[in-house]
């Protein structure tokens, strides 16, 4: 137990992933759900970094992917917030259960 | 005889049809009649000049009239040896028909100038007449049995359009439908006949077909006689089927039911289409294929008996009808029956071909006096505004020209010498006498009946009730006299033709083999038909000259027979019974039941199952985002577990 290994980091990222999933499935506030999605994305980022460092230490591919994912996540967050704002204008609420008009 | 002239004859009416059909209603409604009449006049002139040069200058080679192909091109090539050609065939009968069609068409065009004046769809009427004239001329000039079939159908279409010209009248619509369906049904037989003959002769061209099927040594003829179906050779089947199409167009029994109803069309149209030209297309068709028919006695017998039966049936019905146009329609049917059985009793060549010549002769003369009768009836209807005989009577003073010309036509059709009908009917009776006594007796009796019902018509219109119309106050408002000059001129010209056309030497021009035929009127032989004709006229004079109760007493004493004849021997009812009670009930209803219950039922069952299933699972689409996400993760989890399981 003298050095932090791949398993530890994967353990952290798995924790982060399931916290995200849990948050996404249980929180009713859409902003919070968005934050949960960010957690999931970050767990993926951690995986990329960890695998890159421990398995292919001489390459940078994982890092580049991480940078891309962060960029996309930023864009996605912007879109998501725009949608949420529009939903709020229509429904006067950002509770996800109120946005259930798209059904049979 | 230049071929350009002949090509122009059918193309002029076609051009009129296109011009008036496209622009007539908007731009040319004033001049439509004049344009159409002028172009048909040119066509008639070209036809007469063609006839002159064919019969007197170019037609003969070594004393025999030849079949000349003026123009021909391949239109559809199916196989190396089977093609459909388009062309123009000039031979004695087609030249005669050219003259008859264009001349009668011209008369009808002129007559219509007055008769149809003020109609809302004046230009359309002339466009249809142009279409009809074009298709009839195309039919007459066909070089090819398939080409004749196409023009045959075009003639049917234009007849349909003209019968239904007054389409706001339900009876006209029903009549046009009836005419179209009945003739179309008969044309199915024609098509089958074409296919059988074409299959046997391996050609559709008239010249080649006749050559191949009349040479006893040819393999084509032997093959078509050898192969048989139901004990009848395929040649006979083919010819009988072709005759079936002809019988439909020519209103022979049992396809005659459409002709009386076709009288719903404007009267000049009846004169052109349903008296002089289109209805003789069946006779023309049999005459066109006559060399082949003459090789097959069985098929000729069918033609003979159908023709003779139609002639007498129509004559009996005509005696009981009260609508003047219907009387004329049945008389047309009866006269066409004459032409048919005359072809039937004829054989090929020389003296035996007398019936063929007589049939063509009668076709020629009949065209003039029958179109005259119809145009005269049109003038009467124009004045009286009714088709019923009971509304007429005593018209001889107010319509002198119509009266005289109608009388001439009646004398012509009754076969009184020296009017046209006498000569042609004499030849027909002579031909029948020499080959089949039964037919001769039937024809003689029909000839007496013809004289009777024609003069019944004549006396009822022009005599009967004296001067009733001139004292009628209501009459003065509608008085337009006898009609315009354009209505009188055709009557006079056709009247002259009805007297003189019997003297046209058809016998030296139109014979089965192209050689002139010596004919002579045998005085002793003429006694019987002329006496019967005069007897019929006298009987009509006695019964109908003055209104009296005698006709009614005779009608009641005839009892059931009179009623049956008056109701046209229940043919319409029989057709309705067959179609409604038998075909619709036994075939149509079960087929509809299968379609509704089994075919549709299967489809409905599938749809119902789908609907039920989707009703069950539609609750899954709840609109709740987090539920969807939960399903998604559950799904992923399942896959993960599956992969883990498979990994080990």
Question: Closest-CA residue in chain B for A21?
Answer: B633
Question: What's the pLDDT score for residue B1?
Answer: 55
Residues of B in contact with A26 (CB under 8 A): 626
Q: Which residues have C-beta within 8 Å of that of residue B466, sequence separation ≥ 6? A: B393, B394, B546
Domain residue spans in chain A?
6-103
Nearest C-alpha neighbor of B359 from the set B246, B522, B257: B246
Stretch 615-644 of chain B: residues touching chain A, C-beta under 8 Å: 618-619, 621-626, 629-630, 633
Interatomic CA distance for residues B193 and B244, integer angstroms: 9
For the stretch B575-629, pLDDT in tens is: 888 888 888 888 888 999 999 999 999 999 999 999 999 999 888 888 888 889 9
Residues of B in contact with A21 (CB under 8 A): 633
For the stretch B380-435, pLDDT in tens is: 888 888 888 777 877 878 888 888 998 999 999 888 888 888 888 888 888 888 88
Q: Taking a C-beta distance cutoff of 8 angstroms, is the pair B50, B6 a contact? A: yes
Q: Alpha carbon of B170 to those of B166, B167, B573: distances in Å? A: 9, 7, 19
Q: Distance, in angstroms, between B157 CA and closest chain A CA?
A: 55
Exposed (0-12), middle (13-18) or buried (19+): which is B62, by Cβ within 10 Å?
Answer: exposed
Please give the DSSP secondary-structure letter assigned to residue B67.
Answer: P
Least confident among B317-321, B518-522, B543-547: B518-522
Question: What's the pLDDT score for residue B480?
Answer: 56
Average pLDDT, chain B: 85
Residues of B in contact with A32 (CB under 8 A): none
For the stretch B395-407, pLDDT in tens is: 878 888 888 998 9
For the stretch A32-43, pLDDT in tens is: 999 999 999 999
> Residue A80 above 70 pLDDT?
yes
Interatomic CA distance for residues B214 and B207, integer angstroms: 11
Residues of B in contact with A104 (CB under 8 A): 618-619, 621
Interatomic CA distance for residues B197 and B227, integer angstroms: 12
* ipTM, 2 dp: 0.85
Average pLDDT, chain A: 90
Please give the DSSP secondary-structure letter assigned to residue B507.
Answer: G
Q: Distance, in angstroms, between A2 CA and closest chain B CA?
A: 31
Q: Of the CATH numbers 3.30.70.3270, 1.10.1200.10, 1.10.287.3510, 3.60.15.10, which one belongs to the domain with range A6-103?
A: 1.10.287.3510
Contact A96 B630 (CB under 8 A): no
Question: What's the pLDDT score for residue B467?
Answer: 54
Q: What percent of chain B has pLDDT over 70?
A: 97
Contact B633 A25 (CB under 8 A): yes
Q: Supply the DSSP string of B224-292, one letter for each residue.
A: HHH-EETTEEHHHHHHHHHHHHHHHHTT-TTSTTHHHHGGGS-HHHHHIIIIISGGGHHHHHHHHTHHH
The average pLDDT across B466-495 equals: 66
Q: Taking a C-beta distance cutoff of 8 angstroms, is the pair B452, B320 a contact? A: no
Question: What's the pLDDT score for residue B332?
Answer: 92
Residues of A engaging B, defined by a Cβ cutoff of 8 Å: 21, 24-26, 33, 96-97, 99-104
Nearest C-alpha neighbor of B288 from the set B148, B179, B414: B148
Contact B633 A21 (CB under 8 A): yes
> Residue B197 above 90 pLDDT?
no
Contact B623 A24 (CB under 8 A): no
Chain B interface mutation, best of A14, A21, A103, highest count of B Cβ atoms under 10 Å: A103
Question: Closest-CA residue in chain B for A29?
Answer: B626
Contact B630 A104 (CB under 8 A): no
Torsions phi, psi for B283 (to 5 deg): -60, -45
Q: Alpha carbon of B6 to those of A5, B9, B66, B140, B383: distances in Å? A: 107, 5, 16, 12, 39
In three-state secondary structure terms, A9 is helix
In this complex, the residue of B619, B621, B629 whose CB is nearest that of residue A24 is B629
Q: State which H helix or E strand residue B73 sits in.
A: strand B68-79
């Amino acid at each position: 137990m003298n050095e932090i290994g791949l398993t530890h980091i994967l353990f952290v990222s798995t924790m982060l992933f399931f916290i995200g999933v849990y948050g996404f499935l249980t929180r009713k506030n859409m902003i919070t759900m968005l934050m949960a999605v960010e957690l999931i994305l970050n767990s993926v980022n951690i995986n990329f970094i960890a695998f890159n460092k421990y398995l292919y230490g001489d390459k940078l591919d994982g890092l580049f992917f991480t940078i891309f994912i962060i960029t996309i996540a930023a864009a996605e967050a912007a879109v998501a917030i725009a949608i949420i704002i529009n939903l709020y204008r229509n429904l006067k609420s950002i509770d996800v259960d109120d946005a259930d008009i798209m059904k049979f | 005889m230049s071929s350009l002239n002949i090509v122009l004859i059918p193309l002029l009416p076609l051009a009129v049809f296109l011009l008036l059909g496209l622009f007539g209603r908007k731009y040319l409604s004033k001049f439509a009649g004049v344009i159409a009449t002028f172009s048909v006049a040119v066509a008639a002139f070209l036809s007469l000049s063609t006839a002159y040069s064919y019969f007197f200058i170019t037609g003969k080679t070594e004393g025999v009239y030849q079949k000349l192909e003026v123009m021909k091109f391949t239109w559809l090539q199916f196989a190396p040896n089977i093609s459909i050609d388009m062309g123009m065939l000039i031979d004695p009968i087609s030249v005669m028909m050219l003259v008859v069609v264009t001349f009668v068409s011209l008369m009808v065009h002129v007559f219509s100038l007055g008769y149809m004046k003020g109609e809302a769809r004046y230009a359309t009427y002339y466009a249809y007449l142009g279409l009809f004239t074009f298709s009839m001329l195309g039919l007459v000039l066909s070089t090819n049995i398939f080409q004749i079939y196409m023009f045959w159908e075009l003639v049917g279409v234009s007849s349909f359009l003209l019968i239904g010209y007054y389409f706001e009248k339900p009876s006209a619509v029903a009549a046009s439908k009836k005419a179209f369906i009945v003739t179309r049904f008969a044309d199915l037989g024609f098509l089958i006949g074409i296919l059988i003959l074409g299959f046997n002769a391996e050609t559709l061209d008239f010249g080649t077909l006749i050559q191949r099927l009349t040479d006893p040594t040819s393999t084509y003829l032997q093959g078509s006689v050898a192969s048989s179906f139901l004990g009848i050779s395929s040649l006979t089947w083919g010819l009988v089927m072709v005759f079936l199409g002809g019988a439909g167009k020519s209103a022979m029994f049992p396809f005659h039911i459409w002709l009386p109803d076709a009288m719903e069309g404007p009267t000049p149209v009846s004169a052109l289409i349903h008296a002089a030209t289109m209805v003789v297309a069946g006779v023309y068709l049999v005459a066109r294929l006559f060399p082949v028919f003459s090789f097959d006695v069985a098929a000729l017998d069918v033609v003979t008996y159908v023709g003779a039966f139609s002639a007498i049936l129509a004559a009996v019905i005509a005696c009981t009808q009260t609508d003047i146009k219907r009387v004329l329609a049945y008389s047309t049917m009866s006269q066409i029956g004459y032409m048919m059985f005359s072809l039937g009793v004829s054989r090929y060549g020389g003296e035996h071909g007398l019936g063929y010549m007589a049939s063509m002769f009668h076709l020629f003369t009949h065209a003039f006096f029958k179109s005259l009768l119809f145009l005269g009836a049109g003038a009467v209807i124009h004045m009286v505004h009714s088709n019923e005989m009971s509304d007429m009577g005593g018209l001889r003073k107010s319509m002198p020209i119509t009266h005289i010309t109608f009388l001439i036509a009646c004398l012509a059709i009754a076969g009184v010498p020296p009017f046209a009908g006498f000569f042609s009917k004499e030849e027909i009776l002579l031909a029948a006498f020499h080959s089949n006594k039964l037919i001769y007796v039937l024809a003689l009796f029909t000839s007496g009946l013809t004289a009777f019902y024609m003069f019944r018509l004549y006396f009822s219109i022009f005599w009967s009730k004296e001067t009733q119309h001139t004292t009628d106050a209501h009459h003065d408002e509608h008085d337009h006299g006898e009609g315009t000059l354009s209505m009188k001129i055709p009557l006079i010209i056709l009247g002259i033709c009805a007297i003189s056309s019997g003297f046209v030497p058809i016998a030296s021009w139109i014979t089965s083999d192209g050689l002139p035929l010596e004919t002579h009127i045998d005085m002793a032989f003429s006694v019987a038909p002329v006496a019967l004709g005069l007897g019929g006229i006298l009987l009509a004079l006695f019964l109908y000259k003055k209104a009296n109760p005698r006709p009614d007493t005779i009608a009641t004493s005839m009892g059931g027979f009179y009623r049956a004849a008056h109701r046209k021997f229940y043919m319409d009812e029989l057709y309705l019974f067959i179609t409604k009670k038998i075909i619709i009930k036994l075939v149509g209803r079960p087929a509809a039941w299968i379609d509704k219950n089994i075919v549709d039922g299967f489809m409905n069952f599938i749809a119902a199952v789908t609907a039920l299933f989707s009703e069950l699972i539609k609750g899954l689409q709840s609109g709740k985002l987090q539920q969807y996400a939960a399903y998604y993760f559950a799904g992923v989890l399942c896959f993960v577990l599956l992969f883990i399981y498979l990994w080990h």
